[in-house]
Amino acid sequence: MELRQIDAFRWEIPRHGKMRVPGRIFASERMMADIRRDKSLEQVANVAWLPGIVGYSMAMPDMHWGYGFPIGGVAAFDPDEGVLSPGGVGYDINCGVRLLRSDLRRDQVVPHLDELSIALHQAIPSGVGSESRRKLGDRELDDVLRRGAAWVVAQGMGRRADLDVIEEGGTMAGADPALVSARARERGRPQLGSLGSGNHFCELAYVAEIFDERAAEAFGLFADGVTVMIHSGSRGFGYQVCDDSLRTMLQASQKYAIELPDRQLCAAPLGSPEARAYFGAMACAINFAFANRQVMTHHVREALTSFFGEGPQGLGLDLVYDVCHNIAKWENHTVDGRERKLCVHRKGATRAFGPGHPAVPARYRAVGQPVMIPGDMGRYSFVLAGTEGSMRETFGSSCHGAGRTMSRHEAKKRAKGRPIWRELQDRGIWVRTDSLGTLAEEMSEAYKDVADVVEVVHGAGIARKVARLVPMAVVKG
């Protein structure tokens, strides 16, 4: 496959074969060696086959092989000719990240990391098959699927102000619980407010470095200030919604004569009954994930305020922002000087709207939308801000994390015999998990250095560095 380097941060796959648009890769030259090791570049080209795709088939610097679309993939589709593809959303629908800031300082927390890590681990159910403290009834589940985080706040688990700083206000429109299978409902009913497994986490960190004082002040971040980051999604509910859709979408691809280079890209025209049904079920999973992170936020606030003996207002613990990673939704974007309504797929990519955009909360509109980029549990994460460049070039999108460099199997093989938890503790990071296997799979060496990933999006101008966060205590799924 021909790959042309445009500049230090951009590469292009020229149109060839049945590609409708070129591919656009954001990466440094050094990172391309890792990217070439799997088939993710081929997947970028495959996505460009899909009808109605606009601009480019794109991939962010944390890209790696995924189901259908590469993880890190972004693609936008015209409403008249375009398609909706579950492979462009992923199995963990609305996997995302939220960040809380606090008035606590690092020196207040470091002496208590052992006890705090235990308190957080006890507060948030985690691990494979983890379940919440409360099993939802049918009517409650329907309310969650329709209202998302708003339902949780109405139950007294959160603040009204939280909803102002969640993508989509914490409620995705168009959700229809009638379109969700009995199996998805069964899997979701006991899981609201649980972390799950794999790369999901709850992390207590401190602000180690500030790059943009103005944006940091707007976000409520200050040097040595303590933060909490929660990374989780729609659990088994979202997985089942995706799984349920694939057979229908494959049949739809055949029905509407959509030629696919890979059956994992199965799709349906955006105006079709099949696409509308998937969108209605997907929106339910998006709302489940918003509600899931909101419940965990409530439990984190309870745990920390109980530990420090103060009310939540006394500690701050304000929600900075909550962003989605795996989602498809309607947005307005300017293309060739004309505003167009497009269906934007982000799979392992983060919305990064720039300054002045009406969808950015008023308190952040002057500096751009907060963008949280988690790294690995042994190094650091970053807070960025959306830019005008992302609006011009990537449909308001940025990277979503570090990106794996080795499979989970390979990571476990390389970590065999190593006390990963002890290595982290020796570096001042207390980790709690129900599975030592997860620690092996999630060791730092299994991921790209997120600083390299962030440097690419910062250098390309599609997001701007605001702050670097260093972990102190981590609960792993």
Give the pLDDT confidence of 385-398 residue by residue, as tens digits.
999 999 999 999 99
Confidence band, pLDDT 50/70/90 cuts, at residue 407: confident
CB of 103 closer than 8 Å to CB of 316: yes
Lowest average pLDDT, out of 89-93, 110-114, 413-417, goes to: 413-417
Identify the pLDDT of residue 312. 67
Given pLDDT bands bounded at 50, 70 and 90, which one contains residue 375?
A: very high
pLDDT of residue 57: 98
pLDDT tens digits, 357-374: 999 999 999 999 999 999
Q: Does pLDDT of 477 surpass 90?
A: no
Active site residue 16: no
Q: What would the pLDDT profile of 54-72 be if each residue is shown by its tens digit? A: 999 999 999 999 999 999 9
Question: How many other CB atoms sit within 10 Å of the CB of residue 52?
Answer: 19
- The string of pLDDT tens digits covering residues 253-280 is 999 999 999 999 999 999 999 999 999 9
Q: How far apart are CA 353 and CA 388, in angstroms?
A: 8
In this predicted structure, what is the pLDDT of residue 188? 96
For residue 322, the model assigns a pLDDT of 98
CB hemisphere CA count around 168 (13 angstroms): 27
User: For residue 265, what pLDDT is reported?
Assistant: 98
Per residue in 304-360, pLDDT tens? Answer: 999 999 876 789 999 999 999 999 999 999 999 999 999 999 999 999 999 999 999
Q: What is the pLDDT of residue 383?
A: 98
What are the phi and psi torsion angles at 451 (to 5°)? -65, -35
Q: Exposed, middle or buried: residue 63 (CB in 10 Å: 0-12, 13-18, 19+)?
A: buried
**Among 50, 31, 53, 51, residue whose Cα is nearest residue 40:** 31
Question: CA angle, 74 as apex, 358 and 146 as ends, to 5°?
Answer: 60
pLDDT at 189 over 70: yes
pLDDT given for residue 179 in this prediction: 98
Per-residue pLDDT, 285: 98
pLDDT value at position 415? 87
Q: Which domain holds residue 434?
A: 4-476
Residues 213/169, Cβ–Cβ less than 8 Å? no
How far, in Å, CA of 406 to CA of 220, rounded?
Answer: 35
| CATH code assigned at 286 | 3.90.1860.10
Percent of the chain with pLDDT over 70: 100
Residue 382 near residue 373, CB atoms below 8 Å: yes
CB-count exposure of residue 3 (10 Å: 0-12, 13-18, 19+)? middle
Determine the pLDDT at residue 417: 86
pLDDT of residue 127: 77
- In this prediction, residue 165 carries a pLDDT of 98
Query: The pTM is what?
Result: 0.97
What mean pLDDT value characterizes the chain?
96
Counted domains in the chain: 1
pLDDT per position as a tens digit, 105-156: 999 999 999 999 999 999 998 877 778 878 899 999 999 999 999 999 999 9
204-251 pLDDT tens trace: 999 999 999 999 999 999 999 999 999 999 999 999 999 999 999 999
pLDDT at 361: 97
Query: In this predicted structure, what is the pLDDT of residue 190?
Result: 95
Residue 434 pLDDT? 86
pLDDT tens by residue, 421-443:
899 999 999 999 988 888 889 99
Identify the band that residue 409 occupies on the pLDDT scale cut at 50, 70 and 90: confident
Considering 64, 400, 409, 458, which one is annotated as catalytic?
400
SS3 readout for 277-345: HHHHHHHHHHHHHHHHHHHHHHHHHHHHHHHHCCCHHHHCCEEEEEEECEEEEEEEEEECCEEEEEEEE
Cβ proximity of 469 and 227 under 8 Å: yes
